[in-house]
Structure 1
């Protein structure tokens, strides 16, 4: 089955901070200027070129007009790239730098970079910090990056 459009999800980290866009950067927080933030709608499509058993997904914002990318350099760098999510979905390339393997753990999910195994989407424990990538530490303390997200389809 081929999708005609991206699916819509909202994401919160396990500390209940929502993901939102500010100055073309994806941040995680809850209040902004004293107002509760609803959170960015995250556009989601599967990556049809990678093993479906690993749940490969491409994540976008602003109606899928920008997609999260881990880059292709020596070290991963999370950025928003101005590429249409449906072009990646329908394209003939595997688009690995835009792909994350979704791993469900009960009520939450983690998102591992397809290009950089062992690197996961994360938020900082503090509010209003950029969403980034981290490697999971052996003994994570209270100040460790948060890699578990509530991933719920939009209403």
Structure 2
């Protein structure tokens, strides 16, 4: 059996037989206690009663010798249970004597959470073609409508709260929540049937911290500026799904998977009449 450049054979001998020690007990000695013999020397050591260890030295450095000595120092007292002492018994002997068992405790992964920042922005939201988001008849559905002058009272005002992401975001996007000002309703990306849909969700408590996996993680969106003051809003809970509007008026504001205009949906929005109401 090979161990750090040494071939080791263990065999049974009479317990009255005494052999020379392999290594000096002195901490200051760098030399082996074996007699001066040629390079292919053989050292013998009485480890324990009934066991004799024979070592044939290979061309190896002092580090290998030290490793062997350390291993020998750690060996536990052991007697063979039978006169047969083969390779399997030798392997078990070294495993039980040298290998130290170490218990590893699994550390539970912490749940990522988003923390609300102090800045809150009040604004109107309209799509790339200037259709405004309005709420029809107090329903839980938003629509996109082109409003004429004098109908600004129908525009929905939003309170946009920013959140700190638990991990750096390579897409340079900002986690936000969009609430209808002076209300408890928030935009939420909710699974309805087999696909996510945009709904208005009423929240009665505070949202200072939103943890991934809790009941309110569908309120978070990644807001990303796309140039020319345009922004996209991607669901944090359902990556790849974006808030979007149709090209026609009076169509519901919904979620879609594609960001290109070829999808038949508009995903670019501008924020108008912005005003910081909390900082």
Aligned to 2:254: 132
Give, in whole Å, the separation in 2 of the partners of 1:49 and 1:109.
Answer: 18
Summarize the Cα distance change of 1:47–1:62 in structure 2 as closer, same or farther, 3 Å threshold.
Answer: same
Verify: 1:11 aligned to 2:125, yes or no: yes
User: Greater helix share, 1 or 2?
Assistant: 2
Question: Bigger CA drift: 39-48 or 125-134?
Answer: 39-48
Alignment of 1:1-155 (within 5 A): 2-3=117-118, 6-23=120-137, 24=139, 25-31=141-147, 36-38=151-153, 39-48=155-164, 50-51=166-167, 53=169, 54-72=173-191, 74-84=194-204, 87-88=206-207, 90-91=208-209, 93-94=211-212, 95-106=216-227, 107-136=229-258, 140=262, 144-152=264-272, 153-154=274-275
Give, in whole Å, the separation in 2 of the partners of 1:87 and 1:150.
Answer: 27
TM-score calculated relative to the size of structure 1: 0.81
The structure with more radius of gyration: 2
Summarize the Cα distance change of 1:150–1:137 in structure 2 as closer, same or farther, 3 Å threshold.
Answer: closer
Deviation sequence 1:19-65 (CA, Å, 0-9, x none) = 11112221111238x95345111111123454474300011114241
CA contact (8 A) 1:20 1:37 kept: no
Summarize the Cα distance change of 1:137–1:59 in structure 2 as closer, same or farther, 3 Å threshold.
Answer: closer
Deviation at 1:92, TM superposition (A): 5.3
| Structure 2 counterpart SS, 1:97 | helix
TM-score calculated relative to the size of structure 2: 0.47
Give, in whole Å, the separation in 2 of the partners of 1:20 and 1:52.
Answer: 34
Which ranges of structure 1 fall in alignment gaps of 5 or more residues? none
| Structure 2 counterpart SS, 1:8 | strand
Summarize the Cα distance change of 1:18–1:92 in structure 2 as closer, same or farther, 3 Å threshold.
Answer: closer
Which ranges of structure 2 fall in alignment gaps of 5 or more residues? 1-115
